[in-house]
């Protein structure tokens, strides 16, 4: 039956024709013309479906002409169209017919909206690869020429992106024409076009013969690099990277370097910024010799540029620049020609520069080795650790591991730790807060033993800080430390100290014990919670301060899920019931809330139900949040946002109670 049917003939195709007539192109076109933009957009996005339904021939003969003729639409629709057409070659019958796609894309490449144009150019570049060399010269190159000599700047801008894709496969005569067109666009009257040409100069240079690069591209490069508009000049810097890669050292010296030297001292900071930003690429492109003679002096100037933006961009490249220097003599070059500038930048007036420096400076340790690091870099790290800008300090602290590798933990502890400890006792609570936040990170980098020795006492001291936000952060920090070092560590070093605070004369410290238990119970696990924490919590139910008592209720609710039936039934419940009769209404409220949660938990322990439900039990009740001043004791990520509010509500409760 169907076995005899070849493509396009036999009984199968008759059925297909019938299908096609069901959906005449008129209907589809109607869709593409619909008044609602969204519907047009949908239709365009399904253009491949339409084309498939129509078949290759009708797509070529009817759909594409329609698209070409009626291109006046919202940019969003045009963008979708430009994108679709890039993948359309198969739908119009393969590479032999790829040129059919050129007319609509040509119009799209001339529209005003940049994103549409860029997409059209991208699709054209894609399709150009599918053209045979003959078709390329017959269809594609003429299109590029038309665009290149278009009236309005948009088409000329688009043309700039198409030269490099058709050049390699064109004949010599055509190649000369293409070069000619590119040349004229480089000196176009409109800066937009010159910018487009400048941005494609490098790409175009790469496909040209070396002679043409020297004779034609270099003069263009020099012209663009001295354009009246800095937006053009800075693009020439980018092109410089590509051109430099193509030329020999001697040619480079003569043809490119004078311009590059000039660019590094351009009067516009944008151009200098570009040089700084592309520095690593430039360094690789020009090779070690020119780097030493030319780029390093230029780099020194960029490091002390009058604009902070430029300095910051240059600073970002310090590490890469140093890494890429030839190993022989590298140390001397860095020590003598780079480091003096870096030393000054440590006390730069602009914080962005300092932040940038702090993010790369640690990378120099491995390059310079132990002795240099200790002698020259450590003082800089120390200075930056004391910088007024927290991001500078953060960048240093979060890269401490690099230093650690080079100079070892002992050395590090002797030199940097005092600075960290000093910050930990800073008079500004925000600074202390920032240091606390680095603690888990430091703990990971320094290891348990070292941590216990040097930092543990700090972490405990924060628990009794006079600022609530710090105590809260300290609590949270303990939890993270326990997650890092494990329960055994918690049991020996943390838990006893925390529990001792339950007897503190200051009720705020007693509450901290409860907050710590809330935070730690889960990380410490069932056993520690039940055996060590629970008795203390229960004991505190008799505290004379109501704030402590209602926090006991909250803590019991919190650790409830970790306790077994016996403990809940025999120990927790009676205490909560007693608190439920408390004279203070807040205590009563929280006790009752905890009772209901615990009761729920007990029911489930007696009659185990599905897992999914069990998890939900201890979650905070909605009412809980409705009450003023009761914002979560659980230390979630909103912590820092809420901390101030916390402090106030705490104080408020205190005042109301008149204690």
Partner 1 sequence: MQTTDATSNEQQELFCQKLQQCCVLFDFMDSVSDLKSKEIKRATLNELVEYVSTNRGVIVESAYSDIVKMISANIFRILPPSDNPDFDPEEDEPTLEASWPHIQLVYDFFLRFLESPDFQPSIAKRYIDQKFVQQLLELFDSEDPRERDFLKTVLHRIYGKFLGLRAFIRKQINNIFLRFIYETEHFNGVAELLEILGSIINGFALPLKAEHKQFLMKVLIPMHTAKGLALFHAQLAYCVVQFLEKDTTLTEPVIRGLLKFWPKTCSQKEVMFLGEIEEILDVIEPTQFKKIEEPLFKQISKCVSSSHFQVAERALYFWNNEYILSLIEENIDKILPIMFASLYKISKEHWNQTIVALVYNVLKTLMEMNGKLFDDLTSSYKAERQREKKKELEREELWKKLEELKLKKALEKQNSAYNMHSLLSSTSAE
Judged by the rule CB under 8 A, the positions of this chain that interact with partner 1 are: 2-7, 12, 16, 19, 22-23, 27, 31, 35, 39, 46, 49-50, 52-53, 55, 74, 112-114, 152-153, 190-192, 195, 228, 230-231, 267-270, 307-309
Dist. CA 645–CA 164, nearest whole Å: 62
In the complex, minimum distance from the CB of residue 283 to partner 1, in angstroms, rounded to a whole number: 24
Helix (H) or strand (E) holding 482: helix 468-485
Residues with Cβ within 8 Å of residue 542, at least 6 apart in sequence = none
Dist. CA 225–CA 262, nearest whole Å: 9
The structure tokens 């593409």 sit at 32
423: its two tokens: 């910050």
Asked if 653 and 543 count as a contact pair (C-beta separation under 8 A), the reply is no
The structure tokens 């002409």 sit at 65
CA distances from 234 to 157, 226, 281, 327, 423 (A): 17, 10, 15, 31, 43
In the complex, minimum distance from the CB of residue 11 to partner 1, in angstroms, rounded to a whole number: 12
In the bound state with partner 1, the residue whose beta carbon lies nearer, of 6 and 608, is 6
In the complex, minimum distance from the CB of residue 359 to partner 1, in angstroms, rounded to a whole number: 17
Side-chain-facing half-sphere of 340: CA atoms under 13 Å:
9
In the bound state with partner 1, the residue whose beta carbon lies nearer, of 52 and 500, is 52
In the bound state with partner 1, the residue whose beta carbon lies nearer, of 122 and 230, is 230
In the bound state with partner 1, the residue whose beta carbon lies nearer, of 192 and 207, is 192
Dist. CA 64–CA 573, nearest whole Å: 79
Dist. CA 631–CA 638, nearest whole Å: 11
In the complex, minimum distance from the CB of residue 350 to partner 1, in angstroms, rounded to a whole number: 10
Asked if 259 and 244 count as a contact pair (C-beta separation under 8 A), the reply is no
- The sign of the dihedral angle between the CA atoms of 117, 122, 127, 132 is positive
In the bound state with partner 1, the residue whose beta carbon lies nearer, of 50 and 218, is 50
Asked if 530 and 571 count as a contact pair (C-beta separation under 8 A), the reply is no
Dist. CA 509–CA 492, nearest whole Å: 20
Q: How far is CA 633 from the centre of its chain?
A: 32
In the bound state with partner 1, the residue whose beta carbon lies nearer, of 49 and 293, is 49
State the Rg of the chain over Cα.
36
In the complex, minimum distance from the CB of residue 398 to partner 1, in angstroms, rounded to a whole number: 23
In the complex, minimum distance from the CB of residue 58 to partner 1, in angstroms, rounded to a whole number: 13
In the bound state with partner 1, the residue whose beta carbon lies nearer, of 47 and 446, is 47
In the bound state with partner 1, the residue whose beta carbon lies nearer, of 39 and 599, is 39
In the bound state with partner 1, the residue whose beta carbon lies nearer, of 268 and 526, is 268
In the complex, minimum distance from the CB of residue 21 to partner 1, in angstroms, rounded to a whole number: 12
In the complex, minimum distance from the CB of residue 369 to partner 1, in angstroms, rounded to a whole number: 37
Asked if 295 and 258 count as a contact pair (C-beta separation under 8 A), the reply is no
User: Mind giving me the DSSP string for 371-398?
Assistant: HHIIIIIHHHHHHHHT-SSHHHHHHHHT
In the bound state with partner 1, the residue whose beta carbon lies nearer, of 8 and 570, is 8
In the complex, minimum distance from the CB of residue 428 to partner 1, in angstroms, rounded to a whole number: 25
Q: Would you state the torsion angle of the CA atoms of residues 107, 112, 116, 118, taken in this order, to the nearest 10 degrees?
A: 90
In the bound state with partner 1, the residue whose beta carbon lies nearer, of 152 and 625, is 152
Helix (H) or strand (E) holding 96: none
In the complex, minimum distance from the CB of residue 76 to partner 1, in angstroms, rounded to a whole number: 9
In the bound state with partner 1, the residue whose beta carbon lies nearer, of 149 and 645, is 149
- The sign of the dihedral angle between the CA atoms of 517, 522, 527, 528 is negative
Asked if 242 and 206 count as a contact pair (C-beta separation under 8 A), the reply is yes
In the complex, minimum distance from the CB of residue 213 to partner 1, in angstroms, rounded to a whole number: 28
In the complex, minimum distance from the CB of residue 157 to partner 1, in angstroms, rounded to a whole number: 9
Asked if 223 and 184 count as a contact pair (C-beta separation under 8 A), the reply is no
């Amino acid at each position: 039956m169907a076995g005899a049917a070849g493509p396009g003939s036999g009984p199968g195709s008759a059925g297909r024709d019938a299908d096609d007539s069901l959906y005449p192109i008129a209907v589809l076109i109607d869709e593409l013309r619909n008044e609602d933009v969204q519907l047009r957009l949908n239709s365009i996005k399904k253009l491949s479906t339409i084309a498939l339904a129509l078949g290759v021939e009708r797509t070529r003969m009817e759909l594409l002409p329609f698209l070409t003729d009626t291109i006046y639409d919202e940019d969003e629709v045009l963008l979708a169209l430009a994108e679709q057409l890039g993948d359309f070659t198969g739908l119009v019958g393969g590479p032999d017919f790829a040129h059919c796609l050129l007319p609509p894309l040509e119009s799209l490449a001339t529209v005003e909206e940049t994103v549409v144009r860029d997409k059209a150019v991208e699709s054209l570049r894609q399709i150009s690869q599918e053209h045979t060399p003959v078709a390329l010269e017959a269809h594609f190159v003429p299109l590029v020429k038309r665009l290149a000599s278009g009236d309005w700047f948009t088409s000329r801008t688009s043309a700039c992106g198409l030269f490099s894709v058709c050049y390699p496969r064109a004949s010599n005569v055509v190649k000369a024409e293409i070069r000619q067109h590119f040349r004229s666009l480089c000196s176009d009257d409109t800066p937009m076009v010159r910018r487009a040409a400048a941005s494609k100069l490098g790409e175009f240079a790469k496909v040209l013969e070396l002679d043409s690069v020297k004779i034609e591209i270099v003069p263009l490069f020099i012209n663009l690099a001295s354009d009246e508009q800095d937006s053009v000049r800075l693009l020439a810097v980018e092109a410089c990277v590509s051109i430099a890669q193509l030329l020999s050292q001697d040619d480079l010296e003569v043809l490119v370097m004078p311009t590059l030297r000039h660019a590094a001292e351009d009067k516009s900071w944008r151009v200098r910024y570009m040089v700084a930003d592309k520095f690593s690429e430039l360094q690789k492109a020009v090779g070690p010799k020119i780097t030493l003679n030319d780029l390093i002096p230029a780099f020194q100037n960029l490091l002390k540029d009058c604009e902070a933006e430029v300095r910051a961009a240059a600073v970002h490249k310090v590490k890469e620049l140093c890494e890429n220097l030839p190993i022989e003599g590298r140390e001397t070059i860095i020590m003598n020609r780079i480091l003096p500038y870096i030393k000054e930048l440590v006390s730069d007036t602009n914080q962005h520069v300092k932040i940038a420096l702090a993010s790369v400076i640690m990378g120099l340790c491995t390059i310079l080795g132990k002795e240099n690091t200790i002698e020259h870099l450590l003082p800089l790290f120390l200075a930056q650790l004391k910088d007024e800008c927290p991001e500078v300090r953060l960048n240093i602290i979060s890269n401490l591991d690099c230093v650690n590798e080079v100079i070892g933990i002992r050395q590090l502890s002797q030199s940097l730790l005092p600075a960290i400890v000093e910050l930990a006792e800073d008079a500004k609570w925000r600074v202390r807060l920032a240091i606390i936040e680095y603690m888990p990170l430091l703990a990971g980098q320094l290891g348990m033993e070292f941590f216990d020795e040097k930092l543990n006492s700090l972490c405990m001291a924060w628990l009794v800080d006079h600022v609530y936000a710090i105590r809260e952060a300290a609590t949270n920090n303990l939890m993270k430390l326990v997650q890092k070092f494990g329960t055994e560590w918690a049991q020996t070093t943390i838990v006893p100290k925390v529990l001792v605070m339950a007897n503190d004369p200051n009720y705020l410290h007693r509450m901290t014990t409860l907050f710590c238990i809330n935070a730690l119970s889960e990380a410490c696990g069932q056993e520690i919670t039940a055996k060590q924490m629970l008795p203390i919590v229960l004991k505190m139910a008799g505290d004379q301060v109501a704030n402590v008592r209602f926090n006991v209720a909250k803590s019991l609710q919190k650790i409830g899920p970790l306790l077994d039936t016996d403990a809940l039934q025999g120990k927790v419940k009676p205490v909560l019931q007693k608190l439920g009769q408390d004279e203070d209404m807040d205590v009563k409220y929280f006790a009752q809330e905890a009772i209901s949660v615990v009761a729920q938990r007990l029911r489930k322990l007696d009659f185990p139900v599905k897992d999914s439900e069990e998890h939900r039990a201890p979650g905070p009740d909605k009412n809980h949040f409705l009450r003023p001043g009761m914002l979560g004791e659980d230390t979630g990520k909103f912590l820092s946002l809420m901390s101030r509010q916390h402090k106030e509500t705490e104080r408020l409760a205190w005042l109301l109670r008149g204690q």
